[in-house]
Structure 1
Amino acid sequence: MTLRQFEYLVTVVDEGSFTRAAELLHVTQPALSHQIRALERSVGTPLLDRLPRAVRLTPAGRAWLPFARSALADAERAATAARRVGGLECGELAVATVYSLTLGALPPVLRKWRALHPDVRIRLFEHRHADELREAMTRGQADVAVGPRPVEWSGYCHYLGGEEFVLVLPPGTAHDGPVDLRSFADQGWVLPAPGNGLADFVDAACRERGFQPWAAVRTEQTASVPVLAAAGLGPALVPRNVLPETFDGVVVRPDPPVRRELAAFGPKEPDPLTSAFIGLLEQAGWDA
């Protein structure tokens, strides 16, 4: 059982055809078929159903596929790590995060990183919830995670700073300085859908102030929350960094402030290239 055999079968599954997979892999179709049959003999059961015009995974193949993909990804990360130790700044940097940071805080960092390290590919893994991010990093999904500061994390963890949250209201709303969230307790809010980590964070922030926000609108898309609030569908509490410069809604700071602690973390001490990326994160201007 070899990684090459894993790659062959995964490619057949992704392409849905032995012919297209052989062309993509630059091997003959008989050679490809031989290697997959050898893999199936090693596993002890068929992994593919070979139909007249298509191929599909058997139940055993469906169980096997996620582990094969993980093994191939681990092999690529191992090769990248070895090249880094050799002083070669090439390969791939894997970064895991949550959706809201992909919308706001990370793009400027990634743009600067790309300018400094054009030969390093970025592999971005995005998660809806901080718990999902934490679980993915316990499995070693990425070189570094950027997200809400994990509690009782046993690996590497570097505090970055706080992420400011602001209240979004429709254009023309009168206000004179910071506002108490409790003054909006009786209104319907624009909230992220359940399962989105921001939904839990907003609920917790409001509970700390003595009320439970009720949803006038819930949306699956994090980017839609401030847009819907600016359209007059209800107030929304969002990270300031997700708002575009041309945003036309009214943006108000809550009093007391609402902040989320952010960190860069991983299962082990970062290598030099990952440390360089964390250095750029530190320059991103997080709140002290």
Structure 2
Amino acid sequence: MLTIATDQRGRTALQAHSGVTAVPLGAPAAARADILWRRAGTTAADVTDTLTRARGLRWVHTDTAGVDDLPLADLAARDITLTKTSAYTDAVAEWIVTAVLIAAKGTPAYAEASRAGRWEPGVGAPRLISGTRALIVGNGAIGQTAGGALAAMEVHVSTVGSRAAAGWEALLPGTDWLVLACPLTERTHHLIGAAVLGALPAGAWLINAARGQVVDEHALAAALDARRLGGAVLDTFAVEPLPADSPLWKRPTVVITPHDAWRASGAGRRQAVDFLDQLHRYRSGQPLHRVVDAVAEY
């Protein structure tokens, strides 16, 4: 009998499954957990508490796309397998494509004119995305799916991995859309700073579906102030919620979504289906999917 520590939604999803006992996070019974299923909304502190008490824990599955808030070194030291969900791939990839289209079609300018009651043909200076160039930083499932969708619309797509191999900056001067879909690691922290932003051509857009700390927000604000960038579509930030005094608010060429790129109808169901598939693999001795490399941090 396997003991799985998870929240109420997880326990509901596991009710019909024999051979497992689902227990609440924080309950005394969680100390016997073999598996921790971290649902969206479960804090890193909850995970750490369960790790501390459940000395027989063998596997942690997280319903988050990123793992930067988890104690990766502790998991590796105890030889605990960590896997992550695939439930958000399509939603985030669609958000990226939408962001490119928002930028290309001048949607922020049209929205501003609409709010002001102004009829201004051409105010957004719309352009075709066919023939433009996107540079995607991050070649995981999200980056690959978004890249495939953009390529289908005849965007020239280049992809660099999360390790950002030397020389990738040479692609920046020809980039219209700099798309971030990489994990936050020591290597990618503030990867996008003044030097990278300064190497982009005038009118280029930054699109961030990664983690806020991948971008130096002060450098981004300065680049926007200098009006070299066309603008930015941002879903994540170094501090969330984004503080009211952030220089990124109230800019006509910046579109902000509140860390919602992952959100789409049916997300909870997709998370559960993904975990239950992994659980079947675990119980039958098959290799798990999307195992996180604690050293690489993704």
Q: Relative contact order (alpha carbons < 8 A, sep ≥ 6): 1 or 2 greater?
A: 1
Structure number with larger C-alpha Rg: 1
TM-score after normalising by structure 2: 0.32
Give the number of the structure whose residues are more often helix, by fraction: 1
